[in-house]
Amino acid sequence: MEKSKVLVGMSGGVDSSVSALLLKEQGYEVVGVTLKLFDNDNNESGADAKRISEQLGIEHYVCDGQATFNKYVINDFINCYANCKTPNPCIECNRYIKFGLMYEKTKELNCKYIATGHYAKTEYSEKYDRWVLKKSKAGKKDQSYVLWNIPKEIIEFVKFPLADFENKEQIRDVARKAQLHVASKPDSEDICFIPDGNYKKFLEENSDIKPKYGNIVNSKGEILGKHSGLYNYTIGQRKGLGISNSTPLFVLGFNSIKNEVIVGKEKELYKKEIKVNNINLLLLDEIKDWMEVEVKTRYSSKMAKAKIMQEGGIINVVFDEPQRAITPGQSAVFYLEDYVVGGGKIM
């Protein structure tokens, strides 16, 4: 029986290229799509994706997603910094672009499934009687953390062909054997729309956020120095504060009304309780009672044991052990074993 059509998001990198290759080998009718998302989006990625598509003998399209990307990703990025929060643009991009705009493209091209090169897994769970999102086998490189916000109704139509790979070298080996020219292409580490990594310059050139000097104070309100604009600092930051003290000081938070950066000792960075909003639950429809889970509060952070309880549009999180430098604007993602329960934005 002929397998269904699947639309693969192709960035021109090795992960998405191997994803397309594997799906074709599994018998799917594969269609590639590359998204153009911002003005300085270089065409190298599109050219690589097109070349791979030609090599694999699959159709390839370029989709202009600049307006949607600007509305949901760049605007959120700017608004977070304007409100003393630290954004994760990949999470907004996954929800609104890769599993929003690109999912709409699947219907337009009569594809049943959508696939990306993320390290994550989808499957049907008899236990939960639904399609679920799970961790991949990639360990520290697992990307389920940045996928908590995708619409749960589309999970059954999402494929992650790299779910069972344990490391990047295995994926590169597949690419080499297939003679894909991107086999050794380096990973992109920066925020895609800020290729030079200078987010402060990006904010100053693309928003009303400009240097505005104010006081650096301790938790008692005592003035210790001057800052160059709240957006230049993040919770947990130690270096670059320009103040001397007998013990190291770290950024604890902000007072946007007084235009102050608040600093303190490292022990003051730890919190045992947080609140989370903008909730998206995947494994359950609601959390009716205190539930024991593991929580990640940053992509690179370790799992932390906690209890969670939902009250309307907010989830209360109580950690077993206090956690360091929890940052508003980042995501708290909840796990039961390998299952993604859901997540939300740290308030």
- Say if residue 156 is in the same domain as residue 232: no
Q: Is residue 151 part of a domain?
A: yes
Are 254 and 262 in contact by the 8 Å Cβ rule? The answer is yes
84 is catalytic: no
Residue 42 — pLDDT band, cuts 50, 70, 90?
low
pTM comes to 0.95
DSSP letter for each residue of 242-300? ----SS--EEEEEETTTTEEEEE-GGGGEEEEEEEEEEEESS-S---S-EEEEEESSTT
Measured from the Cβ of residue 268, the count of other Cβ atoms closer than 10 Å reads 15
Q: pLDDT > 70: what percent of the chain?
A: 98
Q: What is the mean pLDDT of residues 140-162?
A: 97
Q: Is residue 190 part of a domain?
A: no
Q: Is residue 26 part of a domain?
A: yes
- Say if residue 248 is in the same domain as residue 322: no
pLDDT at 45: 78
- Say if residue 36 is in the same domain as residue 73: yes
Interhelix angle 75-82/199-206, rounded to 10 degrees, is 100
Q: pLDDT > 90: what percent of the chain?
A: 93
- Say if residue 121 is in the same domain as residue 50: yes
* Helix runs in 57-214, H state only: 66-69, 75-82, 89-93, 102-108, 168-177, 199-206
- Say if residue 136 is in the same domain as residue 275: no
Amino acid at 64: D
- Say if residue 335 is in the same domain as residue 255: no
Choose, from 80, 84, 93, 111, the residue flagged as catalytic: 93
192 is catalytic: yes
- Say if residue 165 is in the same domain as residue 252: no
* Helix runs in the chain, H state only: 14-25, 44-56, 66-69, 75-82, 89-93, 102-108, 168-177, 199-206
- Say if residue 50 is in the same domain as residue 125: yes
Distance CA 9, CA 249 (A): 44
Number of structural domains (the chain) is: 3
Angle CA 110–114–119, to nearest 5:
170
- Say if residue 166 is in the same domain as residue 286: no
- Say if residue 243 is in the same domain as residue 282: no
Q: Is residue 253 part of a domain?
A: yes
Q: What is the mean pLDDT of residues 260-288?
A: 97
Domain range for residue 302?
270-346
pLDDT at 187: 86
